Amino acid sequence: MTEMTIVHLLRHGEVHNPHGVLYGRLPGYHLSEVGRRMAEVVAKAVEGRDIVAVWSSPMERAQETAVPSAKALGLEVITDERLTEAGNVFEGLRMAGRANVFRDPRSYLHFRNPFRPSWGEPYRDIVARMKAVVDDARAAARGHEALLVSHQLPIWVIRLAAEGRRLWHDPRRRQCALASLTSLTFEGGRLISIGYSEPAGALLRAGTQPQAEAALFDEAGKALPEAFRAGPEDEETPGPRSVPGL
């Protein structure tokens, strides 16, 4: 019988970010009190699973999300740079309020190509590194399960690639909530299903300020509505080689 392996992609919990900064890869951004509770809830949800490896992005918020689950499973956290947040030229800038980035017209240049995207790490590059780490985790946990803690955009684009969908998308429509699990199930080396769950969903707060690129799109949509009209296909539509396990 062919072995079944599951790779769970866990998004980190809520971050303490009172000034609404797009923090990206900046150091010093830790989980909020609610974020720490999310991490504990996830740990309780996964402690009975057959998880034999816990990997994490090097960012503090991801490490702090991974630790409770690793402890519950009796494992050590393995840090992997490939799970890190996507690069973004607006890193460190405020996305909303009077001092937001769109007060400077020079920012508009970064929206010249939303399909790549021109404001950050290319979607194809993110897919390549996420596919590599998923494949390595699948091999390490062969016949069992692995838990990989990462960030919203990397998790979402590898899911889009795995489903054969275009990589260009509206960040406000991602199905990748805080502390959510996107689960890739493999039969041998073949991806057979993709699942999604929100074990800490009860802690998600309604009306929370949009985070990261979602907030960026809220502001950009007001200033540059024409820049966000996607065609039926674009240069970032993945081929079958983008799909994990193929």
The confidence score (pLDDT) of residue 205 equals: 76
The confidence score (pLDDT) of residue 92 equals: 83
Q: How far apart are the first and last CA of the chain?
A: 20
Contact 178, 35 (CB under 8 A): yes
The confidence score (pLDDT) of residue 118 equals: 80
Measured CA distances, 165 to 98, 134, 182, 233, 236 (Å): 36, 18, 16, 10, 9
| pTM > 0.75 | yes
The CATH fold of domain 4-242: Rossmann fold (3.40.50)
* 183-237 residue pLDDT tens: 999 999 999 999 999 999 999 975 454 455 665 565 555 555 454 444 443 444 4
- Reported as a pLDDT band with limits 50, 70 and 90, residue 245 is very low
Residue positions annotated with a catalytic role: 12, 85
Question: Helix (H) and strand (E) counts for the chain?
Answer: 5, 6
The confidence score (pLDDT) of residue 103 equals: 62
The confidence score (pLDDT) of residue 202 equals: 94
* 142-158 residue pLDDT tens: 999 999 999 999 999 99
* 48-58 residue pLDDT tens: 999 999 999 99
Element (H, E) at 181: strand 181-187
> One-letter amino acid identity for 185?
T
What's the rounded mean pLDDT across residues 33-46?
A: 97
Q: 131 or 221: whose pLDDT is higher?
A: 131
Least confident of 31-35, 95-99, 189-193: 95-99
- What DSSP state is assigned to residue 110? G
> One-letter amino acid identity for 78?
I
The confidence score (pLDDT) of residue 96 equals: 60
Rounded to 5°, angle at Cα 47 from 42 and 52: 110
The confidence score (pLDDT) of residue 206 equals: 56
73 has pLDDT over 90: yes
The confidence score (pLDDT) of residue 240 equals: 37
